[in-house]
Amino acid sequence: MNKVIIIGNDHVNTLGVIRTFGENGIKPYVFVVSKTHNVSVIKSKYIYKYWICTDEEIALLTIMSVFKEETEKPVIIPTTDLATYKIDEIYDILFKNFIVPNLDGKQGNIIQFMDKYNQYNLVKKQHIKMAKSKLIDICNSKEEFDLPCIMKPVISANGQKDDITICNNIQEYQQALKKLKELNYDKILLQEFIHYDYEVDIGGFSYNGKTSVAGIIKKERIWPQKRGSTTFGVVIPKEKYQDLTNQIEKLMNHIHYNGIFDIECFVCKDTFYINEINFRNGAPSYAFGDARIVYYWYLSNIHKKFYNCPLIADEYYFMDDQADLHNVLDKEISYSTYKKDRKKCKILLGDNPLDKRVAKSMKFHKVLNKLKLNGFINKLEKVCHKDINGDILMCDYNTLKKEPYNKDYKVVLLTLDNYMAVLNLSGRDKEMEKYIISDKIQGIALVKEDRLIGKGFIIFGSCKSDHFFKICDSDRYIIAHISVEHNFRGKKYQCDLILELIHQIEHLKANSKFYAFVYEYNIPSYKNFMRLGFKKVGEKTIIRFMGKTINKIKLGG
């Protein structure tokens, strides 16, 4: 049986996918992206095992490490735009051992069409209506565009819903430009404002040139207002919107998509305008009930045969009962309206009599949030905690590989005067400043044609910077805080960073030893150190108290 792996945040979207597979006898492996351990979806009884990761990259590295020797390819299902983006970014690596969403089997194709301007051009070529759109440089505020208009990030994965702005007049337009410029956007999308009657979501999946649409969701309420997700709506058979669903099926087949999709549309009288194509499971997807979109996409891939999902036969209501409570708190609706609408619903996205613990946890966190205690508890859990397991690596100068792999860069020594400009930082980066100000640590950056490749530090002596190691004698050095920019990964630039750091040290001896601590999930980094002659000399689980390491690895002495 092919294992199911879900990557997403603490949201009903992730929960819906978990429950869909659990109700069909498959307990998934779940990777929740969260900065805190106070998450609710992990309370679901349908989960086989879960991990909480601080970002999508760590989640994917962990997946590649944990599931690298499966006899049958596990299926990875993203439930956020950023997870979809990160998967497609390394598709050429993942597809060898995993089944993942893709567009025509080529890396980067989904990312290309996550760009809303590319979506606009694609839809236009297929003779489907979409609001007129224009891509502009954020620094050029002289662009002419009819008002009112909508200003939004070009790629959802690189922005926030809060950054979507409706501009009714030139003053609001200028204010929105200023705000997005301050948020470091370089390009934005201007879109015609459609005076629509209502919105619909089309959920479905595509496989091997065929597409299945289960039904349509008509939005009755959303939260947050103007830019949020559906909290109350109606599920409608696709036959009532047959022309629209035919167009959607033709569109997805045309681009050779293999994955789950969620397409948002505006309805104005008898005219449909596509608003956005999401190449992932939609938040209200679980509302389609027996259609089980994600499950039938999974079956199609593991059996290499298209399975059309069951169609919605009759209309019914559904509610994201946890999110809709915010509309009560914000006084958009009364509590009596909420209760009355909840009783109408056939499906609730939160409360579930067979999986009760999740909703209880969600309610508890809402109470904490209302009392402004969530932040306090998040800080409290970090007072003393265990970090992810890692390996201690070591190499001496005699056995170190000396020759860099790439020579197409220049080495810049990081100082207090230049680190902000070299690392493209805005504002004061106190963490970086702390590293550089110490007289026992030295940092460099690799730069190519004024583009940052990566940065790294080497620590020696009795360093003031809090780290995993404690150096007790000379001729021992720590390679730390190595990072390579996305566009330069997979090209051994990390090896170059390590070697160039070591080359900065004067009077190296043959018995000089270099150490590094690599988290167990970080297989690419581990392999790069091995290439240079490093060997594993131990394992460690770091314990942190008030942000400080209290069980440092002692070197020498």
Question: CA–CA separation, 130 vs 123, rounded Å?
Answer: 7
Using the predicted structure, report yes or no on whether residue 516 has a pLDDT greater than 90.
yes
Taking residues 45-74, what's their average pLDDT?
A: 92
Number of neighbouring beta carbons within 10 Å of residue 12: 27
Identify the pLDDT of residue 460. Answer: 81
CB 346 within 8 A of CB 289: yes
pLDDT tens digits along 403-427: 889 989 999 999 888 888 888 887 7
The overall average pLDDT reported for the chain is 89
Asked if residues 83 and 5 have their Cβ atoms less than 8 Å apart, the reply is no
Nearest alpha-carbon partner for 138 in 170, 172, 183, 81: 183
How far is the C-alpha of 81 from the C-alpha of 111, rounded, in Å? 10
Q: Kindly indicate the confidence band of residue 439, based on its pLDDT and cuts at 50, 70 and 90.
A: low
Residues 248 and 122 sit within 8 Å (Cβ to Cβ): no
Instruction: Please identify which residue in the block is written with the tokens 């959920």.
Output: 203
Residue 520 or residue 351, greater confidence: 351
Q: Is the pLDDT of residue 302 over 70?
A: yes
Mean pLDDT of 48-61: 92
What pLDDT is recorded for position 380? 66
Query: Is 136's pLDDT higher than 90?
Result: no
- Residue pair 342/351 in contact by the 8 Å Cβ criterion: no
pLDDT of res. 424: 82
What pLDDT score was predicted for residue 95? 95
State residue 25's pLDDT score. Answer: 96
Q: How confident is the model at residue 181, as a pLDDT? A: 81
Is residue 441 over pLDDT 90?
A: no
Reading across the β-sheet that carries 410-413, which strands appear in turn?
410-413, 441-448, 451-460, 476-484, 513-519, 384-396, 535-545, 548-549
CA 61-393-387 angle, to 5 degrees, is 55
> In angstroms, rounded to a whole number, what is the distance separating the alpha carbons of residues 294 and 214?
11
> So what's the pLDDT on residue 212?
97
Q: Which tokens in the block code for residue 321?
A: 């009962």
d(CA 219, CA 216) in angstroms, rounded, equals: 10
Residue-range domains of the chain with CATH = 1-100+351-381 (3.40.50.720), 132-192 (3.30.1490.20), 196-350 (3.30.470.20), 384-555 (3.40.630.30)
Pairing of strands 29-33, 49-53: parallel
Q: What is the pLDDT at residue 270?
A: 84
The amino acid occupying position 485 is E
